[in-house]
Structure 1
Amino acid sequence: MSSVPAGGSAVVTGAARGLGLAIAAALHADGWRVLVTDVDAAGAARAAEPLGGWSAGLDVRDEAGCAAVAAEADRRDGLGLWVNNAGILATGPAWTQDAAARRQIIEVNALGAMNGTLAALAVMRRRGAGHVLNVVSLAGLVAAPGETVYAASKHALLAFSLGTLADLRGAGVRGIDISCLCPDGIWTPMLHDRLDDPQAAASFTGALLRPEAVAARAARLARRPRPVVTMPGWRGAQVRLLDALPGLAVRLTPVVAAVGRAGQRRQRRRLSDRGRP
């Protein structure tokens, strides 16, 4: 993949706080003019104040809303980058979640990112250039016990991203890239609230990443697109091995859960010792 210069408009979804805000700040520091979007319009406006003050309310499930944001970004400075970061996590076996909960996870994490991708591509294909960066998860590479529907939504996003990239190349489009960033668990509000949830243990099996570190990697990936990047790399290799050996992965589920619960306990002790996150 070729290097992509910063400096045009970049849209980041779900950017009022957490990883999305960290990505918006990293892109802003790297020279992008960032449009901060979130379903919480007031939160997006507050987050955007130190980043140039450009924000918009956006529910990624709204296809027309995504198209309007893409058009606004293109009018301002030319849409060069769209980051699909918005996502939600719900834990527990699928049979414990009602239809509305399952539908919301799929609609936000998968269909919402599809809406953003296609809205961006509609603009980028006219210009012949651009980059869509989808924040997936290691859960998009392997089944995550206790986070089954969430993992299914991320699997769908990974397949959609790689398939759409292949479709672009098959159509002769070379100037548009799609990248997937697949990080391990990140210490953001999404996991802050899961320390006492045994069903979220899979997210605590590795060393929790700082949002600033993931955001810095996203900013580098924005400049040098790659189809799939895992963080950390060794965890990507580990989960790919388990994905290649599904029988082994299922048998190891109790071990994964035990390791994750131990990780939750360590994090709780760490917070207790520090007296803060």
Structure 2
Amino acid sequence: MTTPTTGAGPGAAGTAAVPGAAVVTGAAGGLGRAIAAALHADGWRVLLTDIDADAVATAAAPLGGWSRTLDVRDEAACADIAAEAAGRGGLGLWVNNAGILVTGPSWEHDAATRRRVLEVNTLGAMNGTLAALAVMRTQGYGHVLNVVSLAGLVAAPGETVYAASKHALVAFSIGTQADLRLAGHRGVHVSCLCPDGIWTPMLHDRLDDPGAAASFTGTLLTPERVARRAARLARRPRPVVAVPRWRGVQVRLLDALPGAALRLLPAVMAVGRAGQRRQRRRTGGGHH
């Protein structure tokens, strides 16, 4: 596979083959594993990373077997992963997928919990982004894809600390993209993928959790659907993509009208609780 010239990369006109390697964090299961599989099917050489060494090795086995242990909170470790991936014909794509969800009113979380959510969801994604950009800016091409959430576009009730961590990631991503353009880097991209609730282990135990009701107010997605959209976004970068698109419009409208959103809150949460009951019936009250 030929390394593209400066300015080429996924989505560049006339580029048929993906450039170099892709890194996916939090890839041992759930959405991360599905994204890794979709990218592998699309021709990427994928390095799967996760804090769980055994689980990520198992996930990587059918995709070429390339995996590494990574705690995204470790800045130096992220840099090492970026350098390793760059050694396989260049680092074409870095997907920041690792994340954790906590629910409930903000005042119920202790300082350690708040810190952990921000360290993984925000600072961890910043570590990955900056490690990747250190390589990509020198190469002249590359794409960082940050898996955010609709909670990055609207203040999701019951998921306040989680939403705050994701809002920060959206601001960091869009601002970094702007900084890249101002610095003259036309072939390096940063994208945010903001999906609705996804039926993964993150939500499997949340069917009776009123704090998670916001994640069930719209279209509950499969990991595979979101992964397919991620693979398309890897090919054709855009700053922010919501899945499904109509939900992005809806939550941005609520975000723009916070007074109205507060008045609608009881109805919104009732819809979410109904969504939880519906999913419980579909799954028999347990996991897939």
Give the conservation status (yes or no) of the 8 Å contact 1:8–1:79: yes
- Give the counterpart of 2:201 among 178, 189, 201: 189
Cα deviation digits, residues 174-199 of structure 1 (max 9, x gap): 01011110000000000111111011
Q: How does 1:53-202 map to 2 (within 5 A)?
A: 53-202=65-214
- How far, CA to CA, are the matches of 1:179 and 1:230 in structure 2? 11
Contact 1:7 1:33 (C-alpha < 8 Å) held by counterparts: no
Q: Are 1:25 and 2:41 counterparts? A: no
- On the 8 A contact 2:204/2:287 being kept in 1, the answer is no
Instruction: Name which of 268, 276, 288 aligns with 1:264.
Output: 276
2:238 maps to amino acid: R
Separation in structure 2 between the aligned mates of residue 51 and residue 200 of structure 1, nearest angstrom: 33
CA RMSD of aligned residues (A): 1.2
Distance 2:167 2:262 in 1: 17
Q: Deviations over 1:114-139 (max 9, x none)?
A: 00000000001111110000001000
| Structure 1 counterpart SS, 2:88 | helix
The one-letter amino acid paired with 2:175 is: G
More displaced stretch, 5-14 vs 126-135: 5-14
Aligned length: 276
Is the 1:37–1:44 contact (alpha carbons within 8 Å) kept by the matching residues of 2? yes
Q: Pick one of 262, 266, 271 that aligns with 1:250.
A: 262
Asked if the contact 1:183–1:214 (Cα under 8 Å) also holds between the matched residues in 2, the reply is yes
The SS at the match of 1:76 is: coil
Other-structure match for 1:214 = 226
For residues 110 and 89 of structure 2, what CA distance do their matches in structure 1 show?
43
Per-residue displacement from partner, 1:23-65 (whole Å, max 9, x unpaired)?
0000001000000000111111111000000000000000000
Residue 63 (structure 2) pairs with residue 51 (structure 1):
yes
- Partner SS, residue 91 of structure 1: coil
Aligned to 1:39: 51
Unpaired runs of at least 5, structure 2: 1-10
Q: What CA distance in whole angstroms lies between the structure 1 residues aligned with 2:29 and 2:18?
A: 23
Amino acid at match of 2:33: L
1:14 to 15, 26, 38: 26
The alignment-based identity, stated in percent, is 77
Distance in 1, Cα, partners of 2:284 & 2:124: 37
Q: Distance in 1 between matches of 2:281 and 2:56?
A: 33
Amino acid at match of 2:215: S
CA shift for structure 1 position 214:
0.3
Confirm or deny: 8 A CA contact 2:19 2:91 kept in the other structure: no
Report the CA distance between 1:148 and its aligned residue. Answer: 0.1
CA distance in 1, matches of 2:140, 2:287: 48
Asked whether the equivalents of residues 7 and 31 of structure 1 are also in contact (C-alpha less than 8 Å), the reply is: no
**In 1: Cα distance, 2:218 partner to 2:139 partner:** 41
TM-score, scaled relative to structure 1:
0.97
Alpha-carbon distance, 1:6 to partner: 1.4
**What amino acid is aligned across from residue 159 of structure 1 in structure 2?**
A
TM-score, normalised to structure 2, is: 0.94
* Unmatched runs of 5 consecutive residues or more in structure 1: none
Task: Give the residue type in structure 2 aligned to 1:54.
Answer: W
Matched residue SS, 1:264: helix
CA distance in 2, matches of 1:7, 1:164: 22
For the pair 1:239 / 2:217, whether they are aligned, the reply is no
Runs of 4+ that moved beyond 2 A: 1-5
